[in-house]
Amino acid sequence: MAMDSRDLRHLLAGCRWDGSVVGRVKLAAGTTYRARRLGWELLVLEQGTVQWRHRRSAHQVACPSLLLLGPGGEEERCYQDTHCHCYLGLRLQAQAQRVLAGQDWWQRPISPGSPAIALARLAVSRAQAGAQTAVDAHLRSLLTLLMDGVDVPSPSPRWSPAVAATLDTIRQAWSSGPVQDLELDQLAAAAGVTRSSLCRAFARDVGMAPMAYQRALRIRIAVHRLRHSQQALKRIAAETGFRDARHLGRSLRETCGRSASDLRRQPQIPVPIPAGLDLLLWNEVLRG
């Protein structure tokens, strides 16, 4: 079932971890599980295939997938091969529950390298340590990934030193100041390399030039704010490094093939994201 930006805002505002957690359970093929769900659950299914009967509906869930399930449903899961998953329980405020009344199943296929998997594992480890605030933040990030309909790879473990230093420079600048392109000279100086060396490193590690990378990420931030705020296009443009609303609108059409109003009204429209997007930078986008 599609979820609009209003639903997501209520979910993010009202989402809290309820204290229940299961970390990376592995189940053998042929295992059957029956239960009646009492609360909201967010699950990350890392591997395997599940025949899932939820209320009166049947779902064939191929992993990896990210799911949000509502309370009160009778369910049966039949694990058709070796399976691995983790889940966290959610507590929602009354306003969010009213908005979501009758909507109790969302599924989003993800890639094996999706940040959802890394975020879920991190959330489980924080939950097992009892870190409520950290778990709440990770749950909101996972919900945003689920509802945005985007999927990006986890950060490469083999960034060259120049690329790693550049990503850190961008992240620090954007988290403490305006979201706008940093000059190539500034990035190269911060990384301690020449401009040409930095461009070669980005082309090798990320697949695009540093300036193109920043522009692609600014577009993604703009789409995130379109969908999860009521800000005018003019203000979003000013806050994401575009000259004006017209410039941002043209950039969205060139990149996404759709208008700003389409992207705001239809959250299921996918948005291209840099192939080498760093998870730390992605978390800054989620905070935006």
- Are 237 and 222 within 8 A, CB to CB? yes
Spell out the domains of the chain, with CATH numbers in brackets.
5-148 (2.60.120.280), 161-287 (1.10.10.60)
Give yes or no for a cis peptide into 64 (omega within 30° of 0).
yes
Residue 11, pLDDT score: 60
Decide: pTM greater than 0.75.
no
- Stretch (H or E) spanning 54: strand 49-54
What is the rounded average pLDDT for all residues in the chain? Answer: 77
Q: What confidence tens digit (pLDDT) does each residue in 42-96 have?
A: 888 887 777 777 666 777 777 788 887 777 667 777 877 666 777 777 777 666 6
Q: Report whether 126 contacts 138 (CB < 8 A).
A: yes
Give the separation between CA 41 and CA 100, rounded to whole angstroms: 14
| Measured distance CA(72)–CA(119) in Å, rounded | 27
pLDDT at 83: 63
pLDDT digits (tens, 9 = 90+) for 33-48: 777 767 778 888 887 7
How does pLDDT run across 238-282, given as a tens digit for each residue? 999 999 999 999 999 998 888 999 888 876 676 665 555 554 455
**H or E stretch at 97:** helix 94-99
pLDDT in tens, 165-221: 998 898 888 877 788 999 999 999 999 999 999 999 998 887 889 999 899 888 888
